[in-house]
Amino acid sequence: MKQLRLEEVNKRNSITWTACNDDSRSRVWRNIFTETYGGKFVKRGRYWNWEEDKKNVPPPRKCWIFEKNNKEVKITNFSDYCKENDLSRAAMYEVMYGKRRQYKGYTFLAEEIFGLRVFKVYPKDTDTKQENTEGI
């Protein structure tokens, strides 16, 4: 039995591509491949290309919610968002972790993990540390 590999399915003349396109049992191999990896095959010209099923793609695992001008801003790709909006990633991280209150109008609201919001509350004065003086 042939070993069908996900990374080779759309690479011409690979073992998986040949099995799904030029083999006499290519329909059977395509069915086996879709049962194993999901997705679907789409005919493009003479050959079949495999596409990942959009329904089975999980939502982004983590996103950050900031507030700017009283509007919520949901960020899924932190680095790209900072580059597109000319923001310093380091400064935005400082806002997230409570070292800064705001940066260019952005304040941190919450972090969303698997669709659940996690609100982070930091003390207002991070410079003052309370020491335990009991028992001295």
pTM above 0.85, yes or no: no
pLDDT class for 50, splitting at 50, 70, 90? Answer: very high
Q: φ and ψ at 86, to 5 degrees?
A: 55, 55
Q: Note the pLDDT of residue 128.
A: 45
Beta partners for residue 66, in sequence order: 73, 108
Q: Which domains does the chain have, with CATH numbers?
A: 6-56 (no CATH), 62-119 (1.10.10.10)
Calpha distance 92→119 (Å, rounded): 16
Calpha distance 53→60 (Å, rounded): 16
DSSP 6: G
Calpha distance 23→7 (Å, rounded): 19
Q: Note the pLDDT of residue 96.
A: 85
